[in-house]
Amino acid sequence: MNEFRGYIAPILRWWWLIFLSCVISGVASYYVAARLPKVFEASAMLVVGSAGTNPNPSPIEFGVGSSLAQYYQRLAQGSMIQNRVRSALGGIEILPEYSVSTADNLLEISVTDTSPELAQAVALAFANEIINQSPTATSEDAEQRRQFIENQLEQLQVDIVATDAEIAQLREELTTLESAVEIERVNAEIVAQQQKRTSLQANYTELLSGLGESSLNQIRLLQPPGLPTVPVGPNILLIVAATILGGALISTGAAYLIEYLDDTLKSDDDLAALTGGLSVIGHIVDLEKTKEGGPANVFDKPRSPAAESFRSLRTNLEFAAVERPLRTILVTSAAAEDGKSTVALNLALSLSQSGKRVALVDADLRKPTIHAVLNVPNTDGLTDLFRKPLHVSDVVRAWKNERVMVMTSGELPPNPTELLGSRRMEQILLALREMVDVVVIDSTPFFISDAWVLANKVDGVVWVSRPGHTRKGTLRGLMAQARRSGANLLGVVLNRLSKSNSAYATRYSYLSHYYGETPKQLEAPIVPEPGAVGALQPLLRGKQREDGAVATEPAVNGTSHRVEVLAPLPPEPPTTERGKVSLDLLYALSYELASQMDLNELMQRILKMTLESVGAASGSMIAIDARGEPIEGVMIYDGRTYSQDATQLKDVVSRGLAGWVIENRRPVVLSNTSEDPRWLKRSWDEETREPRSAISVPLMADDRVVGVLTLVHPQANHFTRDDLSLLTAIAVGISFNSGAYAN
């Protein structure tokens, strides 16, 4: 199926060109054909030979007549007959279009012209001239000869009758004779009369053949041409249909030719084939324009489709960092004008919206653009750290908020590759890592050696490509260079996707339909970074013990309880299986969130996939409106899905764990639900009293809680810090969508 789609991909991509060609050719041909003069046809029918007049024609007569008809056909197409017709019609210079056809011993002459009278006259003239070329043609001398022959035939007929009578009389007389001499005499007379009759019959036959009544080479007019009244052309429908078909074939061929000559990247499949399976971690739609005409960033349009594209990219990078934290990210491209600087800027802004402190470094020391986009001076930048005794903090400046630090390129040096590959550059990156959580570096395109040397100094490289612009040949060469340089390629970001790009039109329409601008533009809420206790502490609001494992919360309803918190650094990295599960879940959620389904169905799908990913037995997901009232809730228990009614939802939100998470706006892990008063105990809890563990995270949007995701496992102490990190990251990806529904 994919192979077939590859064959017809040029038609699907250039359908508008094919359709436009068909419309233009059809309209143009109809305009021309409708103005063509009407054409009329007149026909004359001739019969050759005597088979048509003989009551008992022989096969020989039919065969000779058919051969003679072909002879007269060739004669009628010759110049002699044409000249005679011109003379007969008063010396016209150009004869109308005509054709001569045969069928057995019939000869048909058809003449077409815009004048029905001229068509009739020419057809009749051709018929007469052909008849004049036959031996039976009539003239004055021929008529006299004919009359003489007819008179002779009449006389011969009388003589033959008289001779027959004489022979009959002699035979009667012979019967009465007895004398041998008389009998001999009468027999001699009978023989003489018979010879005379034979001679008369021969003369009669010869004269009769000369008369032409039974001649095989005779031709006569069987059907004279009539005056045509109904035009036979032009056939407008046929002309238009043929022209449209021709336009479709030509434009289809042009589409395949364009695709053959076009060496640019077009789809994810092209990218996978060229890069050996490198993942696409972002689909960035076209950015909207500001009033000044430049591209808007995710701060200017936080609820636009482009902003959601960068949030998806951010989440994909967070999942890619499950096993190895990404502290320094290099953003490069395969070619110029792929939009790497725009991606680097908006990725940094999107990361800061998730609560991280981000440094954006313009390391493109050949054509820097970050300072122009942000409208900041390009002084005291990166290059000044190489030639002046400055600290990193002296050349970075805050932008928009305290979580975004910008380092411009500074004055352009003559040796950028040497500077970026030096030991000093490593010290600069190390200092930035100590100041912020993530460093995003905008570098030159990867075909320039500056990007090669930087790729070895960062944790990962994000490759920006632009469908319809990035060339496949360039990608092949740069992939080989990336392997030689040992760069850690995190994935490819496809940038500047639009509605006109058929391969991504559906994705663009989903985002455009689902996310719209609101009058009040707010910065996204600060969501704790998975695995970073510094970000989680403001939400947990508890004191961490020295071992970093457990802290005691203030009393709730007069009872103290214990809350799991994250250690400053993970004791060991997550397993490979966990990373695989997290990445698979992320991709699955990305497709679900891009689909157009109702809130209840979407919540069921998300909850089911999350349960399977962490091995939980049951769970629930609740959506909250702007007033804090539950509007929708789903629960999965024993493999079955239930929709919670308003009473159940209100009870959980007011007295259960979900209500505590909503009120305190932070995640929580319960090692044993039977020992924690925040867990709303049901009748089955009182009966079994079996210890269970639970984990619950808030879904945030526009600085308010829009939902709660809760998972339960039948064993105590089941959920780990990895599970909390995973659910927190999932909440980052789905909370914005939940908030849009809640609104």
Query: Which residues fall within 8 angstroms of residue 51, CB to CB, at 6 or more apart?
Result: 57, 61, 62, 65, 105
- pLDDT range class, residue 277, cuts 50, 70, 90: low
635: in domain: yes
Q: Are residues 340 and 449 in the same domain?
A: yes
CATH at 577: 3.30.450.40
For residues 330 and 410, the answer to whether their CB atoms sit within 8 Å is no
Q: Are residues 154 and 119 in the same domain?
A: no
Q: Is the pLDDT of residue 23 over 90?
A: yes
Q: Is the pLDDT of residue 380 over 50?
A: yes
Q: What is the pLDDT of residue 2?
A: 53
Lowest-confidence range among 3-7, 179-183, 243-247, 315-319? 3-7
DSSP annotation of 414 reads: S
| Averaged pLDDT, 278-304 | 74
Task: Please report, as a single letter, which amino acid is at residue 309.
Answer: S
Q: What is the pLDDT of residue 431?
A: 92
Q: What is the pLDDT of residue 502?
A: 42
Q: Are residues 428 and 458 in the same domain?
A: yes
701: in domain: yes
Q: Are residues 252 and 297 in the same domain?
A: no
Distance, in Å, from the CA atom of 608 to the CA atom of 511, rounded to the nearest integer, reads: 23
498: helix, strand or coil: coil
| Averaged pLDDT, 159-171 | 89
Q: Is the pLDDT of residue 348 over 60?
A: yes
Q: Are residues 360 and 457 in the same domain?
A: yes
Alpha helices in 361-471 (DSSP H): 370-374, 384-387, 392-395, 416-420, 423-435, 449-455
Residue 343 Cα distances to 73, 396, 589, angstroms? 80, 20, 22
For 426-439, what is each residue's pLDDT tens digit?
A: 999 999 999 999 99
524: in domain: no
Q: Is the pLDDT of residue 390 over 60?
A: yes
- pLDDT range class, residue 1, cuts 50, 70, 90: low
Lowest-confidence range among 121-130, 482-491, 653-662? 482-491
For residues 89 and 50, the answer to whether their CB atoms sit within 8 Å is no
| Averaged pLDDT, 28-56 | 85
229: in domain: no
Q: Is the pLDDT of residue 529 over 80?
A: no
Q: Is the pLDDT of residue 158 over 60?
A: yes
Residue 449 Cα distances to 60, 418, 419, 455, 678, angstroms? 95, 10, 12, 10, 58
For 229-248, what is each residue's pLDDT tens digit?
A: 999 989 999 999 999 999 99
Q: Are residues 486 and 545 in the same domain?
A: no
For residues 105 and 65, the answer to whether their CB atoms sit within 8 Å is yes
Let me know the angle formed at the C-alpha of 575 by 574 and 576, rounded to the nearest 5 degrees. Answer: 125
Please identify, among 132, 154, 183, the residue that sits at the C-terminal boundary of a domain.
132
Q: Is the pLDDT of residue 323 over 60?
A: yes
| Highest mean pLDDT pick, 85-89, 522-526, 579-583 | 85-89
Please identify, among 514, 544, 562, the residue that sits at the C-terminal boundary of a domain.
514
Cα-flanking dihedrals φ and ψ of residue 405, to 5°? -115, 135
Task: Please report, as a single letter, which amino acid is at residue 14.
Answer: W
- pLDDT range class, residue 684, cuts 50, 70, 90: low
Strand order through the sheet with 106-113: 97-103, 106-113, 40-48, 219-223
Q: Which two tokens stand for residue 632?
A: 């929708």
217: in domain: no
549: in domain: yes
Per DSSP, which regions of 233-301 are E strands?
Answer: 280-285
Question: Where in the sequence is the domain holding 548, given as residue range(s)?
Answer: 536-742
| Averaged pLDDT, 153-179 | 86
For 685-695, what is each residue's pLDDT tens digit?
A: 555 567 888 89
User: Minimal CA–CA distance to 613: which of 646, 578, 644?
Assistant: 578
Lowest-confidence range among 132-141, 208-217, 405-414, 670-679? 208-217
Q: Are residues 442 and 412 in the same domain?
A: yes
For 82-115, what is each residue's pLDDT tens digit?
A: 999 999 888 888 899 999 999 888 999 999 999 9
Element (H, E) at 707: strand 704-713
Lowest-confidence range among 118-132, 472-486, 666-680? 472-486
CATH at 55: 3.30.70.1130
Q: What is the pLDDT of residue 322?
A: 63
Q: Are residues 696 and 619 in the same domain?
A: yes
89: in domain: yes
85: in domain: yes
| Highest mean pLDDT pick, 317-326, 451-460, 578-587, 618-627 | 451-460
Q: Which residue has the higher pLDDT, 677 or 34?
A: 34
Lowest-confidence range among 182-196, 462-476, 631-645? 462-476
Percent of the chain with pLDDT over 70: 74
| Averaged pLDDT, 417-434 | 92
Q: Are residues 279 and 376 in the same domain?
A: yes
Q: Are residues 668 and 597 in the same domain?
A: yes
DSSP annotation of 673 reads: G
Q: What is the pLDDT of residue 5?
A: 67
Number of domains into which the chain is organized? 5
Query: pTM of this prediction?
Result: 0.46
Distance, in Å, from the CA atom of 1 to the CA atom of 602, rounded to the nearest integer, reads: 29
Q: Is the pLDDT of residue 727 over 60?
A: yes
Please identify, among 102, 132, 162, the residue that sits at the C-terminal boundary of a domain.
132
Q: Are residues 357 and 476 in the same domain?
A: yes
Q: Are residues 691 and 711 in the same domain?
A: yes
Q: Is the pLDDT of residue 77 over 60?
A: yes
Q: What is the pLDDT of residue 203?
A: 81
CA terminus-to-terminus distance, the chain: 41
333: helix, strand or coil: strand
Residue 408 Cα distances to 331, 367, 368, 505, 620, angstroms? 15, 12, 8, 36, 47
| Averaged pLDDT, 113-135 | 90
